[in-house]
Amino acid sequence: MAVLENSLMANPKKRLPQNKPGDFFVDETCIDCDTCRILAPKVFAESGEYSYVQAQPRDLQETRRTLQALLACPTHSIGTEGDQKATLALGDFPLKLDERIFYLGYAAEASFGARSYLLKIAEGYWMIESPRWNLSLVKSLHAWGGLKGIFLSHQDDVADADRYAREFGAKRVIHQLELKAQPDAEEVLQGKGPWPLEKGMEAIFTPGHSAGHCSLWVDKTYLFSGDHLWYSRSRQDLGASKEVCWYDWPTQIESMEKLLNIDFEWVLPGHGRWFYDEKIKMKERLQKLIIWMKKQV
């Protein structure tokens, strides 16, 4: 079995019976965070409680996406027993999503597999949410010029933000009501905002999921929505969830209505799937979601 630097792979003795025969497999430690299904949707599927290999990769591209999923998995629940070069994908993160947006991979179990991103601005790079600490990613970030800041939407998705902040001398930004997750954060947001962070970058107070939850709005194009808003596979549209609203659902609805006043094309969540659509259509989707949310009260 190939060995990955600074990473672990799944235990073949715990291989789930639903896996299709072949080199790649998921074991019983999977927490169903959706990371692998986002990266390699043709290979991984959902059983309702965990992911499994629905089809072995058929070509080099699918193999590489599967290896990316193996690296990104927060619980190291994906393994391979074949002769694939498991280090092939080590340099793939940050993974490009758009000209200015990159997915960082290396999800953290402590954040239940939350997505984290790299945002390119004129003055450098910002990390949005935090991945787990990974030496290969650290090396890549140094090669790219390091980090200027780390925006943390709320306490759930901070992972190893403190280590990345120390490594790159980057300031962490988080709301006061979420400060217990990063008590030594360099910049603490107070009150209800909004707060300008950089040119074209504004933090927006979007409580509901948690008391001090904030979203990051960038250049009227990107909305880093934390655990407030995402693309839902079950709805095939924008989504939110009362089941994982830890603070107050009516407050989250009010925060969602606030987003109707801004324009954006990308929703980049901590949990759930990232999504792109035209600004007008995105607003229409958001209006539909708010109507649905009000029916759940």
pLDDT for 2: 37
| Residue 6 banded pLDDT, cuts 50, 70, 90 | very low
Q: Edge-to-edge strand order for the sheet containing 201-205?
A: 195-198, 201-205, 214-218, 222-226, 266-269, 275-276
- Sign of the CA dihedral running 137, 140, 146, 151: negative
CATH number of 92-295: 3.60.15.10
Domain ranges of the chain: 12-85, 92-295
Confidence band of 114 (pLDDT split at 50, 70, 90): very high
DSSP string, 150-164: EE--SGGG-TTHHHH
CATH architecture of 12-85: 2-Layer Sandwich (3.30)
Is 5's pLDDT higher than 70?
no
With tokens 């072949």, the residue in question is 22
The percentage of residues in the chain with a pLDDT greater than 90, rounded to a whole number, is 91
Q: How large is the average pLDDT for residues 257-268? A: 98
**12-85 and 92-295 in the same fold:** no
pLDDT digits (tens, 9 = 90+) for 34-80: 999 999 999 999 998 999 999 999 999 999 999 999 999 999 999 99
Quick one: pLDDT at residue 9? 77
